[in-house]
Chains A and B, each alone.
Chain A
């Protein structure tokens, strides 16, 4: 049973436009959520996080939105750049436990 789901395996966006990556979760007890970017044969790179007590967090071109009632979070990248092309993972965690639960990832392609 997947507790964290990324239903879109891929997304293609034009350079300069907005990329919106989505993630749904089932466990309302999650305390925090994170987004990671990953290139092949490398470890995930931390991008941005959000605590469950907030509904928005912004860092440069990246903004994460959390809708607790819908158990949904999204990552907005504005403007998208070709260098953003990678696989993006959302992850969720509980404060009492050290493990992150990851979605299966969404492959973002930003075309020049």
Chain B
């Protein structure tokens, strides 16, 4: 079974621009979560989607948004990029909500650099 895939792997954007990142979960997984990893803050939760609905949200400004499609693929968008948004963005999928399993499986991440 294929793992979680994320595109693109690397991205360089200019301050003020916006960016869209994509995530395809493991086949059969309907829960997709997004995390931001930075050297200072570590891994921090952004939001979770399940069956096209945002089910949980972390403590990030409204510039960070996401959505999920009927095939469970998810996108996250960051508008008006700031230098501090430079980070590794990780997507994880799980069977949460489909049984008792709670393990999250991560993709390789998208490295975003804002200049």
Contact = CB atoms under 8 A, between A and B. Distances in A.
Interface of A: 31-32, 34, 36, 41-46, 49, 89, 91, 93, 95, 97-105
B48 A99 contact: yes
Q: What interface size band does chain B fall in?
A: 20 to 34
Nearest to A95: B102
A42 B110 CA distance: 9
Interface in B72-100: 88, 90, 92, 94, 96
Contacts of B6: 43
Contacts, number: 60
Given A46-B106, A98-B94, 15 more contacts: A41-B109, A41-B111, A42-B108, A43-B4, A43-B107, A43-B109, A46-B103, A46-B105, A49-B103, A97-B56, A98-B50, A98-B56, A99-B33, A99-B48, A99-B58
B102 A49 contact: yes
A97 B54 CA distance: 11
B42 interface: yes
30 contacts: A34-B103, A36-B106, A41-B88, A41-B109, A43-B4, A43-B6, A43-B92, A43-B107, A44-B90, A45-B106, A46-B103, A46-B104, A46-B105, A46-B106, A49-B102, A49-B103, A95-B102, A97-B56, A98-B33, A98-B48, A98-B50, A98-B55, A98-B96, A99-B45, A99-B48, A100-B33, A100-B43, A100-B92, A102-B44, A104-B42
B18 to A, nearest CB: 23
B31 interface: yes
Nearest to B9: A41
Given A43-B4, A49-B102, A99 B56 contact: yes
Nearest to A99: B45
Contacts of B45: 99-101
